[in-house]
Amino acid sequence: MEFTMNELIDELKRRGFEAREIDTVKNGVRKHGIVVKIGDGSVCPIFYADDMKHFPMQEVVNKIVSALPSIEEKSKTPFLEMISDWDYVKDHIILCLQHGSTEGVFKWNLFGDLELFLRIKLCEDPDSLVSVKVRNEYLAFWGIDPDTLYSVALENTVKETEILTMAEKLGADFPGMDDMVIITNKSGINGAACIVDDHVTEYLEKKFGSEYVLLPNSIHEWLAVAYDPDGDYDGMVRDSNMSDAVDPDLVLSDHAYHIKDREVVKREGIA
């Protein structure tokens, strides 16, 4: 990045905006950025440093300033009313997946080092997807026990599961890619949680048998392949994580998951 965060903040202040540096956690990853105050301060969007590093400072400032009116308009939706209304929540709560964290959110362990958590979709249109993580204190709104909450979210999640081969995704020009399976959801956002769908397990067992490998491509999707004892699956995951296609906050794991008889095969050094 050719400019400092202080220089960026100074330029925003020169244009009349209040801004400050902030560290936060996004999808279990600590992120550094700036928070900008809109209006009375009830809306304070965060812009992350990683998203700015490839652009000149004036272009970054222009992008931030141009985005603020739309963010402010969408914030007028009564989100708190939506979150506290179980009739709304029960149709919009979903499971998501990230690597282990210390966040104060409802979560369930998966594969030893991953965690399922809950999100409520608040605004969904072709241009944006707004959602909020379900924190522990939200349970008081609904009077619902965690097991019921999980069951409702699971039902909503699996309705959106999408399973297709790489050949099906890329088209007829790639017929040799039929041996790699993509597991995600219809929107392609937070689709990795669909791995808990029983239909996914049944599909993979029908295609590969009782032994296969899951490659965490991001928090949005998995890839699945047949197991080969000579395969460098961890290397494939690391290469994917280091590519420009996967932002650091979208990384799900740094290793592959060898599945045999519906269980993760434990390996030394991996929980």
Q: What is the pLDDT of residues 230-244, one digit of tens each?
A: 999 999 999 988 886
Give the pLDDT score at 127: 40
**What SS3 string covers the chain?**
CCCCHHHHHHHHHHCCCCEEEEEEEECCEEEEEEEECECCCCECCEEEHHHCCCCCHHHHHHHHHHHHHHHHHHCCCCHHHHHHCHHHHHHHEEEEEEECCCCCECEEEECCCEEEEEEEEEEEECCEEEEEECEHHHHHHHCCCHHHHHHHHHHHHHCCEEEEEHHHHHCCCCHHHCCEEEEEECCCCCHHHHHHCHHHHHHHHHHHCCEEEEEEEECCEEEEEECCCCCCHHHHHHHHHHCCCCCHHHCCCCCCEEEECCEECCECCEC
Give the pLDDT score at 78: 64
Q: For the chain, what is the largest distance between any 2 Cα atoms, rounded to a whole number of angstroms?
A: 62
Give the pLDDT score at 54: 72
Task: Return the half-sphere exposure (C-beta side, CA atoms, 13 A cut-off) of residue 234.
Answer: 7
Closest CA to 208 of 263, 260, 264: 260
Instruction: Give me the residues of the chain with pLDDT under 70, please.
Output: 1, 24-30, 40-43, 50-51, 53, 74-79, 123-130, 172-176, 244-245, 267-271
Query: ∠ at Cα 155 (151, 85), nearest 5°?
Result: 75
Give the pLDDT score at 197: 98
Q: What is the pLDDT of residues 70-95, one digit of tens each?
A: 777 766 666 677 888 899 999 999 99
Give the pLDDT score at 128: 45
